[in-house]
């Protein structure tokens, strides 16, 4: 019989309140008083890692940190050494962040494992909870560092990236007490992983608007991003006739409206102009330059690629008609990651056993599951996000009731989990 868990983890039933309490405590580990900012390998990051380690150990897990700084807790199987069902999410944040993005997917499985540990319950497979050290890319402008280390796809060129203080990532890893040369050893052998599942707040309003607490993710959307610079001809706002203008800002506006039209009405396809600048613009000057960004995403690559081709063609048409010279630079390209059907079905069954409708929806945001998909089948459970679906912001909210429902679904999923006969 397993040893009893310390009193700190004598969790209430329901456990949603405990999960939110932990999220509040984790938010105290921040670089900026008064707001939550926790970036890779800072003192605040180490403080959060230490607290997560405490909770994992008290929940009955053995815990280690790898060379990337991931915190990995293992709840052993009935037969020690058996392959694991892996779960988890990230514990770094954006600047002035919310409390649940990433953190929920770490804290919720710890709370569930604590309950199983109190019951002395084990499974034919191990459970591994990974608190991924870095997903957001804030400090070194490189994303998914923790999950890429686990997947064995870490890009070692980013070790030379520098932060705002001129510290390289390689130096930061060494200062944290880790060895950059040990990063290859962080990779998980695929034969030791049955699958990867991630619990995450939706970061959007779909579940909220439909009155649903949870949903099954169908795919993590691929993304194409561009930076576009348009060069027209500056002129006096009062003396250049309208038909003679080569207005770069109006060309950018026309292209932006086309992107909105092209990406509307197709489920799962979205297009955004998130930055729009008129360098050295003035009230009485026809803009000679405009710079803007484009972000196009879809759960299906064919939808996204078709929209991208149409948008690029429209840029050429608009600029030719207006006498504008365009310069288009692709800044990011990521394929979509479909969630495995056999795992989605088990999520759906777990939701249905709670008496809840099963809603399936794509994720427009990136997640650690994207990286882990290189070595294992992945799936995700979305949890309703309050306050209009706002995320990456201090007004990000969720309820203890929804956290409890998600925990019940997760427990049901694990207790009924059937590994695929021949995992990758």
Report d(CA 283, CA 286) in Å as an integer. Answer: 8
Report d(CA 118, CA 76) in Å as an integer. Answer: 14
Q: Enter the pTM of the model.
A: 0.86
**How many degrees, rounded to 5, is the angle at CA 198 between CA 80 and CA 350?**
85
Write the CB contacts of 215 (distance below 8 Å, at least 6 apart in sequence).
202, 206, 207, 358, 359, 360, 361, 381, 382
Judge whether residue 4 has pLDDT over 50.
no
- Give the pLDDT score at 170: 98
Residue-wise pLDDT tens digits, 60-94 = 999 999 999 999 999 999 999 999 999 999 999 99
Judge whether residue 14 has pLDDT over 90.
no
Write the CB contacts of 142 (distance below 8 Å, at least 6 apart in sequence).
155, 158, 161, 169
Judge whether residue 10 has pLDDT over 80.
no
Residue-wise pLDDT tens digits, 22-48 = 999 999 999 999 999 999 999 999 999
- Give the pLDDT score at 364: 87
- Give the pLDDT score at 26: 97
Write the CB contacts of 417 (distance below 8 Å, at least 6 apart in sequence).
85, 123, 125, 346
- Give the pLDDT score at 423: 55
For the chain, the domains span 7-220+336-415, 222-334
Q: Determine how many CB atoms are found less than 10 A away from the CB of residue 355.
A: 6
Residue-wise pLDDT tens digits, 271-316 = 999 999 999 999 999 999 999 999 999 989 999 999 999 999 999 9
Q: Does domain 7-220+336-415 have CATH number 3.40.630.10?
A: yes
CATH class of 222-334: alpha beta
Residue-wise pLDDT tens digits, 168-217 = 999 999 999 999 999 999 999 999 999 999 999 999 999 999 999 999 99
- Give the pLDDT score at 424: 56
- Give the pLDDT score at 261: 98
- Give the pLDDT score at 2: 41
- Phi/psi of residue 392, nearest 5 degrees: 55, 40
- pLDDT averaged over every residue in the chain: 94
């Amino acid at each position: 019989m397993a040893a009893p868990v310390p009193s700190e983890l004598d969790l209430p039933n329901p456990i949603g309140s405990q999960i939110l309490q932990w999220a509040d405590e984790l938010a105290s580990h921040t670089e900026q008083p008064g707001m939550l900012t926790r970036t890779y390998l800072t003192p605040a990051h180490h403080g959060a890692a230490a607290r997560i380690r405490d909770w994992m150990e008290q929940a009955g897990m053995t815990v280690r940190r790898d060379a990337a700084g991931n915190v990995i807790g293992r709840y052993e199987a009935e037969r020690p050494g058996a392959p694991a069902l892996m779960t988890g999410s990230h514990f770094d944040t954006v600047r002035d962040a919310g409390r649940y993005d990433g953190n929920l997917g770490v804290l919720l499985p710890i709370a569930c494992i604590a309950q199983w540990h109190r019951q002395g319950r084990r499974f034919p497979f191990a459970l591994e909870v990974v608190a991924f050290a870095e997903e957001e890319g804030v400090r070194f402008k490189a994303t998914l560092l923790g999950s890429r280390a686990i997947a064995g796809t870490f890009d070692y060129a980013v070790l030379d990236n520098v932060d705002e203080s001129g510290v390289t990532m390689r130096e930061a890893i060494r200062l944290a007490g880790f060895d950059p040369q040990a990063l290859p050893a962080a990779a998980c052998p695929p034969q030791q992983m049955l699958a990867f599942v991630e619990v995450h707040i939706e970061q959007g309003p779909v579940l909220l608007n439909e009155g649903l607490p949870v949903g099954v993710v169908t795919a993590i959307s691929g993304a194409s991003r561009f930076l576009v610079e348009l060069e027209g001809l500056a002129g006096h706002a009062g003396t250049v006739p309208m038909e003679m203008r080569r207005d770069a800002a109006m060309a950018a506006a026309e292209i932006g409206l086309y992107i909105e039209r092209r990406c509307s009405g197709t489920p799962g396809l979205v297009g955004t102009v998130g930055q729009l600048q008129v360098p050295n613009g003035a009230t009485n000057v026809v803009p000679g330059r405009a710079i803007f960004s484009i972000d196009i995403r879809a759960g299906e690559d064919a939808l996204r690629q078709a929209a991208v081709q149409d948008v690029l063609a429209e840029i050429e048409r608009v600029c030719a008609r207006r006498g504008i010279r365009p310069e288009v630079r692709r800044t990011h390209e990521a394929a979509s990651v479909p969630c495995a059907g056999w795992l989605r079905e088990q999520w759906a069954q777990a939701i249905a056993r709670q008496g809840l409708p099963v809603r399936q929806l794509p994720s427009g945001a990136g997640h650690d599951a994207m990286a882990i998909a290189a070595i294992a089948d992945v799936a995700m459970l979305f949890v309703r996000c309050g306050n209009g679906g706002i995320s990456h912001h201090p007004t990000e909210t969720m309820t203890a009731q929804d956290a409890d429902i998600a925990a019940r679904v997760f427990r049901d999923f694990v207790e009924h989990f059937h590994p695929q006969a021949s995992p990758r």
